[in-house]
Amino acid sequence: MTTLSVDHLRKRYGGTTCLDDVSMTFEGPGIRALLGRNGAGKSTLLNIAANRAFADSGSILLDGENVTENEAAQDRIVLMSEDNLFPSSMRMRDIETNVRRFAGTFDSDLASTMAEVLDLDRSMRFSAMSTGQRTVAKLIVALASPADVVILDEPVLGLDATNRDEFSRILMDTYARRPRLIVVSTHLIEEISTLVESAVIIDHGRLVASGSVEELETMVWKVSGPERSVDEAVGRRRVLRTERLASSVTAYVVGRPQADAPNVRVSALGLQETFVELTRRHVTVSSEGLTAASRDASGQGGGDSSNGLAQSHPAQSYPSQSHPIADHSAASHSPNGKDL
């Protein structure tokens, strides 16, 4: 088993806090997702893992060893990101040669297959490649490397629909042939929801939620119907926001609502919709975030009902416009994050 642990990580750039006491654990083999809006701190965290940036405090450990300025640990990690680190005059085939010389081994057969399937001319100079072609080049280097931990930051940047689909197939095929820890960070959540087993959501440099994809997909629920019936179904579960349309009210709540309330429609959100609701600017969370075990404020989720977003609230009447219904004064903190 491979474990990449983030322990109370903090990072500021000037007056901006990029990571604010973030803790989480990625366990492999497995394909995991790190999700967040623009500026949430995803790339900063991943760059720290690969020694391209350094934390102000806290640490990232690979199987218990601090990765910072640790050559042995860094030899086991490869980060593919938006940064273009290859010499502009270098051709793809020369990049592969240099990586093989540096890493010791390199899956040339996989590199050839990926270049053919994703339509990359390996004789092209890096400077002549389009954004999508550069993404393909960096994906080849990452997936064909011998690293135990493969980190893919925006792995489909510039790829057309066909190549995004082919990338998904290649990722699953390479993982099946060599299971290892793969961490994927992307804004195209729907496209990776069937590829990853678990996910962490961060926002404003803080942990928001973590769990398996199945758990996250059933963490936030949409409840619609007459106001009184919606209020009965919601009970004391945490309401993220509400909408009103004529006499109908829709509430977005943490935890499965009561299904037997009259004239109420109840449905779980998918991973992308859950992400959207949890990272809307009106949603506030505690520093520990929301773990899947505590997603149900009534206790059905099996965790601390006051953790993170899953705090109870008094019964509410619903306004005519969307607004947050939140009270964090009684928050009690449970362990930060969840092993993925």
Question: Going along 173-247, which residue ranges are E strands?
Answer: 181-185, 198-203, 206-212, 220-226, 238-245
Which residue reads 């042939």 in tokens? 177
Domain ranges across the chain: 2-196, 212-340
Distance CA 229, CA 223 (A): 9
pLDDT at residue 321 tops 70: no
Q: What is the pLDDT of residue 315?
A: 34
HSE-up (13 A, CA, CB side) for residue 275: 22
Q: What is the pLDDT of residue 289?
A: 53
Question: 335 near 293, Cβ under 8 Å?
Answer: no
Q: How are beta strands 248-254 and 290-291 bridged, if at all?
A: unpaired
Indicate the fold that domain 2-196 takes in CATH. Answer: Rossmann fold (3.40.50)
Task: Please give the average per-residue pLDDT across 152-173, as a whole number.
Answer: 95
pTM for this predicted structure: 0.81
pLDDT band at 100 (very low <50, low <70, confident <90, very high): confident
- Residue 318: which region, alpha, beta or left (left: phi > 0; alpha: psi -120 to 50)? beta
Task: Please give the average per-residue pLDDT across 274-303, as a whole number.
Answer: 54
Q: What is the largest CA-CA distance in the chain?
A: 68
Cis link prior to 29 (omega < 30° from 0)? yes
Q: pLDDT tens for residues 50-90?
A: 999 999 999 999 999 999 999 999 999 999 998 888 888 99
H or E element, residue 149: strand 149-153
H or E element, residue 80: strand 77-80
Question: 77 near 142, Cβ under 8 Å?
Answer: no
